[in-house]
């Protein structure tokens, strides 16, 4: 029920923003982008998805040889559409990715471990990206402005996130699922799903621990690839503002892109971050000196990109789901 309330509030906030600024003003600004410009705006997200899929492939190890890159990209896109459309802190699609890998003969332990590790390296890269954006914002806007106070608060929040990631990696090295099972038992709880799959969960822990012990180069390579993927968002920011007729530099686009990622992450509990992400993006662009019309149009164009990828993700989900079903039917059919 809560998610529906948050979704309704998000729709209300976005509607009020559009109404207050004026649909006509927004349409006039958006009309500056023709079909060619809209396609150009989508190119950075294609780069981002492709590079990030390769970042996942790096941590998949030898099992990656069993899955063609284009198929891995399809699976990741299918999982991300679940992350984008459900209020699960962008985690709901991760078990789906592991399940779909199993359909391609990737061992459960390898697939699930790769999903956990890839999520870790992606988040580390995201923090680096946000820190880069905050540093650039201080340099561009100055530390004495009201914006400087907001950025300082963001920096403190990122500091907490860094600590959380460090703790998460530490727990993974000690045994993520074993720690969960131990905690559940200490609390006197019985979760049948965990108890039934205890052996599989311990196998996943062992695979994760082995990766951190023997594959440090792959770990850092994945972080680097994900960082490149995040930075591709800055190309999108640059393109949108440029096509809207605004003056933009590469450094300001990098800062805006990183801070926009931070805003989106902070509103994970709202389905699609609806309303909060849009208002945050508008205020962010106003902080960098752009008009409210440019800000809200920027936010809506990024929504357009998300809608396109949700459509692509649903198509990918249908494709990989159909393949998995066909394979299961083939295995179960009598010879």
pLDDT given at position 331: 42
Cβ atoms of 45 and 80 within 8 Å: the answer is: no
CA distances from 76 to 49, 51, 185 (A): 8, 11, 34
3-state helix, strand, coil in the chain (%, to 5): 85, 0, 15
Contacts of 296 (CB under 8 A, 6+ apart): 17, 18, 21, 26, 278, 282
Give the SS3 label for residue 335.
coil
Question: Per residue of the chain (335 residues), what is the pLDDT tens digit?
Answer: 666 787 788 888 888 988 989 888 888 888 878 888 888 889 999 999 999 999 999 999 888 888 889 999 999 999 888 888 776 656 678 888 888 888 888 888 888 899 999 999 999 999 899 989 988 988 888 766 555 666 666 667 777 777 878 887 888 877 777 777 777 677 766 666 666 667 778 888 888 989 988 889 999 999 999 999 999 999 999 999 999 988 999 999 999 999 999 888 777 777 778 888 899 899 999 989 999 999 999 999 999 999 999 999 999 988 886 655 445 444 444 43
pLDDT given at position 301: 92
Q: How many CB atoms lie within 10 A of CB 142?
A: 11
pLDDT given at position 135: 85
pTM: 0.85
pLDDT given at position 290: 93
Q: pLDDT tens digit string along 232-278?
A: 999 999 999 999 988 999 999 999 999 999 888 777 777 778 888 89
pLDDT given at position 329: 42
């Amino acid at each position: 029920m809560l998610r529906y309330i948050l979704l309704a509030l998000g729709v209300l906030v976005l509607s009020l923003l559009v109404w207050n600024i004026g649909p006509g003003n927004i349409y006039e600004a958006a009309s500056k982008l023709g079909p060619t410009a809209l396609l150009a705006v989508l190119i950075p997200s294609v780069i981002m998805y492709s590079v990030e899929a390769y970042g996942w492939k790096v941590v998949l190890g030898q099992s990656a040889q069993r899955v063609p890159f284009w198929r891995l990209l399809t699976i990741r896109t299918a999982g991300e559409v679940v992350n984008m459309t459900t209020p699960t802190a962008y985690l709901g699609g991760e078990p789906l990715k592991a399940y779909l890998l199993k359909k391609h003969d990737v061992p459960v332990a390898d697939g699930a471990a790769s999903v956990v590790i890839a999520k870790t390296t992606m988040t580390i890269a995201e923090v680096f990206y946000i820190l880069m954006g905050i540093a650039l914002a201080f340099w561009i806007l100055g530390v004495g402005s009201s914006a400087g106070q907001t950025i300082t608060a963001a920096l403190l929040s990122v500091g907490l996130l860094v600590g959380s990631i460090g703790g998460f990696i530490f727990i993974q090295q000690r045994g993520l699922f074993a720690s969960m099972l131990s905690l559940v038992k200490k609390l006197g709880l019985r979760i049948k799903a965990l108890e039934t799959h205890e052996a599989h969960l311990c196998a996943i822990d062992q695979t994760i621990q082995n990766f951190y012990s023997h594959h440090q180069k792959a770990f850092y390579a994945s972080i680097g690839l994900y960082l490149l993927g995040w930075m591709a968002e800055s190309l999108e920011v640059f393109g949108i503002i440029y096509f809207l007729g605004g003056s933009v530099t590469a450094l300001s686009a990098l800062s805006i892109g990183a801070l926009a990622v931070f805003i989106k992450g902070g509103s994970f509990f709202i389905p699609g971050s609806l309303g909060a992400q849009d208002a945050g993006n508008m205020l962010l662009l106003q902080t960098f000196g752009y008009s409210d019309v440019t800000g809200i149009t920027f936010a809506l164009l990024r929504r357009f990109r998300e809608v396109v990828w949700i459509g692509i993700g649903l198509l990918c989900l249908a494709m990989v789901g159909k393949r998995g079903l066909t394979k299961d039917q083939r295995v179960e059919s009598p010879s």
